[in-house]
Structure formats: C-alpha cells, structure tokens
C-alpha cells in the first residue's frame, strides 16, 4: 500500500509534557486530560524542496501530506476539500488596511469543518475506529456525517435544538443519526458524552480528538502558499468558537518557521460576539485560561461556545502570534452578512461575516494600521441561513455595514 510520507512521530500534551504513541487510538492526554497535539519529524524534511513540490500535487489539502497524520494513501477519505479562494475586498474609502477574504464557504459540506473532518475521519479509518459521534453547533456535524458516510462509518450527531434546520437535514441526508438536545453546545456536549460513555463510539469533538486540528492547520499552510513566505498578511481575523482554527493556523506557522520558511508570523485576531466572548475577555484580562461565559447569546451558532475546551492553547496561539481579540454585536454581524453578499458577492455565514464586522474596531483601536494587509477568514457559507430571519432576530431590515477606516 502506498505511503503518504507523513512525518508524524507522536502525540504530545503541551500542558504536562506527556507523550503518547501516535498509532494507537487516543483522545485527550491520559495524564491531565488536556489536548494532545501531533508532533512531526521536521529535521529530515527539506522545507524549500517540499514547498517547491506543492504546485504539481492534487488540488486539495492532501498536498501537504508530509505534515498531516495519515500514513497510507488508501486510508484518505476526501471530498476534494481545501484550496479555497483568497479574494481581494474593495474598500469603501481610501486609506486603511488592504482587505482579503479567504472563503471556505465553497468547501465540501459548506464550511471549513470539512478540513478537520477529512483528516480526522481518515485517521479514524487508519486506526480501525468504526463508530463516531460529535456534539456540534451544526457545521461539524454535517461534515462528520458526510465523511463518515464516505468511509462507511456509523455516525451520531448531537445538535442544540436551535441549530438551523438545513444543517439538521444535512446530517440526516448523509445518513447520520441526529439527536437534538436543549441548551448550548456546552450542555449538549456534556449530555452527549454521558450518553455515549459505554457505547464504544469515538468522540470527534474538536481538541478532544487529536487530528481535526491538523486539518484546520491547512488553513495556515494555504495562506502561506497563496501569499508566499515574504508577503504573508500582517493580520488574520478569525471567528472564534472552539478556537481550533486559531490553534491550527498557529501550529502551521510554527512548523513552517521550524522548517526555515517563515520569518514573520501573521498576528492572529479572535473575533467573538459581545454576547459570548470568553476568549476575548481572557485575552483582555491577561488570564491563563478562559472563564465560562454566563448566559451566552448570539445569532452565530458556531460562536455560541461559552467555555472552549483547552482554552490555554487558544490563548497561547493568539498571544504567541502578537495578535489579540475583538468583539462585535449581532447587529453588526447581520449587517456584514448583507454587505458581503450585496457589495462583494460573497455568501458568508454569520460567523465568517463577524470578521468583516470587526474591521472598524481593529482600525479604531490601532490593532491594525493603514497600509497593512488583513485577511478575513470566512469559515462557512451563508446558504443555511435566511438573511431575512437573521435581520428580524436583531430588529433591522436591509442595513449594510462597511468597514469604515
């Protein structure tokens, strides 16, 4: 069977330095319960030759296979995910930062979650796991259902009752069993883990499973490939829920730096709605970990995460990059959904639109300066959402919002 050339060596816990054998089924750290992250043998990899080889490779995230955890090509479960477009965004005024938008809305299953699930389901296949479950705000469930279907695995998805109907239907259409429960993802996750305790099914929750973050790492690798090492954006603005995207992109930039390919790391900015901003609050308070957000509320389902798992890693990623945090209101998010569609032709999820809504505050606060280049990450398509009902839920109609500089 053909080998991918993966340079995966082991799994490491950053909290307590426990190392775990990579080729056995593993969830969280057996010593302290924090996340396990994949370590690769980068010493023997010639970074420049590796990058020079990318253009001739398949147009999916599997072109980065040496820094992905799957060992055998036959185990790869793919729907052609990755390689999403980076679009310039016209600015309403002169001056201010140059804006780019990386659009994952066109990826398989309509969001960036396909990146993590392609890699994690492939690894589950490789390690012989047959039954998978995930508590999800919607997109991760749809992605697991699709990749699980392709891999012939049994999938159960636990969704908050208020998840958009197209996402619930999407999971069912891919053949997953859907369990709807009350509360936010925090309560749903707790209940799901309790129910699954003796089922033998594997928990695919982000960072409780070591490989989804490796798939999300490819967001950083693609940004590197798109811009080149010497012209990377000064800042990347990311809609933060569970925070795995930030951890993944930071890991990408660290690995590229170890390979001698990166001089300057983009600053990572976490955007959260002001009704649920535990990561931004922890960044502002200089806290070592996140305190759960009381009474969380937002129209962006993927950002309704009051207590992200292993928040130390998220804070480390943002601080290590020299970035920060910013909040936006639901009203600004909905206006940004409208503007991205009507002015830029981009169908953005409320989560992705939050990054556009954050630009004026990033400029006003001086976090981003005139002449810098800023990449906004649209993590998902707007298609599962009705703009009219988003507008009704924040009490406005037809309002656009431009990033004013």
Ligand X SMILES: Cc1ncc(COP(=O)(O)O)c(C=O)c1O
User: Do residues 57 and 63 touch, judged by C-beta distance below 8 A?
Assistant: yes
Q: Binding to Zn ion by residue 36, rule CB under 5 A?
A: no
Q: Out of Zn ion, ligand X, none, which partner does residue 239 contact, by CB within 5 to 8 A per kind?
A: ligand X
Binding segment for Zn ion among 9-17, 88-96, 226-234, 253-261 (CB under 5 A)? 9-17
Q: Binding to Zn ion by residue 39, rule CB under 5 A?
A: no
Residues 6+ apart with CB under 8 A from 221: 61, 64, 67, 252, 256
Binding segment for ligand X among 241-249, 256-264, 288-296, 367-375 (CB under 6 A)? 241-249
How far is residue 146's CA from residue 155's CA, in Å, rounded to a whole number?
9
Q: Binding to ligand X by residue 160, rule CB under 6 A?
A: no
Binding segment for Zn ion among 30-38, 70-78, 203-211, 381-389 (CB under 5 A)? 30-38
The 173-212 contact track toward ligand X, x by CB under 6 A, reads ---------------------------------x------
Residues 6+ apart with CB under 8 A from 279: 240, 243, 270, 272, 290, 308, 311, 314, 315, 318, 325
Contact with ligand X (CB under 6 A) among 69, 96, 245, 306:
245
Helix, strand or coil, per DSSP, at residue 401: coil
For the beta carbon of residue 9, count every other beta carbon within 10 angstroms. 14
DSSP track, 17-70: --EEETTS---S-TTT---EEEEE--TT--HHHHHHHGGGS-SSGGGGGGGSS-
Report the nearest approach of ligand X to the CB of residue 49 (Å).
31
Best CA proximity match to 290, nearest among 268, 305, 275 = 305
Q: Out of ligand X, Zn ion, none, which partner does residue 13 contact, by CB within 5 to 8 A per kind?
A: Zn ion
Q: Out of ligand X, Zn ion, none, which partner does residue 324 contact, by CB within 5 to 8 A per kind?
A: none
- Residue the block writes with tokens 């002015």: 343
Report the nearest approach of Zn ion to the CB of residue 29 (Å).
3
Q: Binding to ligand X by residue 272, rule CB under 6 A?
A: no
Q: Binding to ligand X by residue 114, rule CB under 6 A?
A: no
Q: Binding to ligand X by residue 244, rule CB under 6 A?
A: yes
Binding segment for Zn ion among 24-32, 137-145, 192-200, 271-279 (CB under 5 A)? 24-32
Tokens standing for residue 131: 């039954």
Q: Binding to ligand X by residue 243, rule CB under 6 A?
A: yes
For the beta carbon of residue 195, count every other beta carbon within 10 angstroms. 15
Q: Binding to ligand X by residue 111, rule CB under 6 A?
A: yes
How far is residue 111's CA from residue 68's CA, in Å, rounded to a whole number?
20
Q: Binding to ligand X by residue 242, rule CB under 6 A?
A: yes
Contact positions vs Zn ion (CB under 5 A): 13, 15-16, 18, 29, 31-32, 34
């Amino acid at each position: 069977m053909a080998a991918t050339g993966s340079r995966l060596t082991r799994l490491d816990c950053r909290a307590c330095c426990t190392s775990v054998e990579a080729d056995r089924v593993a969830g969280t750290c057996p010593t302290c319960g924090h996340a396990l992250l994949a370590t690769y043998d980068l010493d023997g990899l010639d970074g420049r030759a590796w990058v020079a080889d990318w253009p001739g490779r398949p147009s999916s995230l599997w072109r980065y296979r040496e820094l992905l955890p799957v060992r055998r090509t036959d185990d790869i479960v793919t729907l052609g995910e990755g390689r999403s477009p980076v679009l310039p965004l016209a600015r309403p005024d002169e001056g201010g930062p140059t804006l780019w938008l990386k659009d994952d809305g066109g990826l398989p299953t309509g969001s960036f979650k396909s990146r993590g699930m392609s890699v994690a389901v492939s690894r589950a296949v490789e390690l012989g796991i047959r039954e998978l479950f995930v508590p999800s705000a919607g997109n991760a469930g749809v992605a697991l259902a699709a990749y699980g279907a392709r891999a012939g695995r049994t999938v159960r998805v636990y969704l908050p009752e208020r998840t958009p109907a197209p996402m619930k239907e999407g999971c069912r259409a891919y053949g997953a069993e859907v369990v709807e429960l009350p509360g936010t993802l925090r309560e749903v996750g707790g209940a799901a883990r309790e129910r699954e305790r003796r089922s033998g099914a594997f928990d695919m929750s982000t960072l409780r499973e070591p490989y989804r973050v490796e798939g999300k790492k490819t967001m950083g690798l693609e940004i590197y490939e798109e811009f080149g090492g010497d012209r990377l954006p000064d800042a990347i603005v990311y809609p933060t829920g569970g925070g795995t995207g930030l951890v993944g992109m930071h890991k990408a930039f660290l690995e590229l730096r170890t390979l001698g390919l990166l001089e300057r790391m983009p600053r990572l900015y976490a955007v959260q709605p002001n009704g649920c901003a535990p990561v931004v609050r922890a960044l502002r308070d200089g806290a070592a970990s996140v305190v759960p957000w009381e009474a969380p509320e937002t129209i962006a389902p993927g950002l309704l995460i009051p207590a992200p798992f292993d928040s130390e890693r998220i804070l480390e990623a943002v601080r290590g990059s020299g970035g920060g945090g910013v909040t936006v209101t639901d009203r600004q998010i909905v206006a940004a959904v409208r503007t991205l569609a009507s002015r830029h032709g981009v169908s953005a999820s409320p989560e992705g639109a939050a990054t556009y809504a954050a630009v004026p505050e990033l400029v006003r606060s001086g976090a981003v300066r005139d002449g810098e280049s800023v990449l906004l990450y649209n993590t998902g398509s707007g298609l599962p959402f009705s703009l009219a009902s988003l507008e009704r839920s924040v009490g406005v109609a037809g309002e656009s919002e431009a990033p004013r500089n």
